[in-house]
Chain A
Amino acid sequence: MDNTSLIGVTSIVAATLCMIIGSIAPALGETKAITQALSSIAQQPDEAGTLSRTLFIGLAMIESLAIYCFVISIILIFTNPFWNHVVAKGGG
């Protein structure tokens, strides 16, 4: 396999792995947060407003980890700097 296709294959595999692994951990974290928040709301329904606001902020924080992975995957697939370098060098 020559270098050009190696870069392509590696980019796609890396983007896929980044998305797979990078979404497992935030999913587990969000599950934990939502579980806790739901049981807290069940115990103290009066505090539902405060709890859900904090929950939303926390979820956004956790979710941004998955979003970082998504952005990196998008960069690897659509605007890959290494691929662009090779294409520019090859003149193709």
Chain B
Amino acid sequence: MHITPDQIVLFRWGPVVINATILCTWIAMLLLTLVSWLVTRKLAAAAEPRSRWQNALEVAVESIRGQVREICPEGGDMYLPFAGTLFLFIAVSNVLEIVPRWHSPAGSLSTTAALAISVGIAVPVFGLQSHGFLGYFRHYLRPAWVMLPFHLLAEMTRTLALAVRLFGNIMSGSMMVALLVAIAPLFFPILMQALGLLIGLIQAYIFAVLATVYIAAAVQREQEGAK
């Protein structure tokens, strides 16, 4: 039984190892990019009749934008590309789990750690962008300089929690299915697959929402401090 798709090595060339995680990440990326590129190649203007695909993409973008705006009403569109990319990538890679022989990249700690680290980098980047060097790093010394290690610890554990949460949920889903196939292979694995799809979508939503909440907290805390 494979705990992570990292262990499934497909291709090895010297130090370069291509495993199922990398391949599935590439496929998900390719799918997202290709579909978006094909659809946005010729966009219909507001008055013209639009294609089904354009409608579908607009629904996706609009609903993500609505969610982001609910979390931070002002300046929410600035985080929309980041949060939307996170959500779409994780959601697509989890939903593709219905395809046989597909291993969701989110079931590997390397992928989730990479995503969580990019969130951990994006938080100070957005904070610096809106409030400058001194303004941003001042909050690490609040309410007193004694709190500095605790602030740093909080950011690190937050990133770790983000990675382990996504990994644990997706990995436990696929592992549960593998166990059920061994115990009761007739009907129950399908139910668990369906539950796994639901959990995958919820976790994608939660990952994106938490990333937005962290960024919004870093930006808005500084606005309060500046007043």
Contacts and interface: CB of A to CB of B under 8 A. Distances in A.
Interface of A: 49-50, 53, 56-57, 60, 63-64, 67-68, 70-71, 74, 78-79
A34 to B, nearest CB: 15
26 contacts: A49-B70, A50-B70, A53-B67, A56-B202, A56-B206, A56-B209, A57-B206, A57-B210, A57-B213, A60-B165, A60-B206, A64-B161, A64-B164, A67-B164, A67-B169, A67-B172, A68-B164, A68-B168, A70-B172, A71-B167, A71-B168, A71-B171, A74-B3, A74-B171, A78-B1, A79-B3
Q: Is the interface of A mostly helix, strand, loop or mixed?
A: helix
Contacts of B169: 63, 67
A91 B50 CA distance: 67
Contacts of B79: none
Given A57-B213, A74-B175, A79-B3, A67 B168 contact: yes
Nearest to B1: A78
Interface residues of B, number: 20
Contacts of B203: 60
Nearest to B209: A57
Contacts of A53: 67, 70, 209
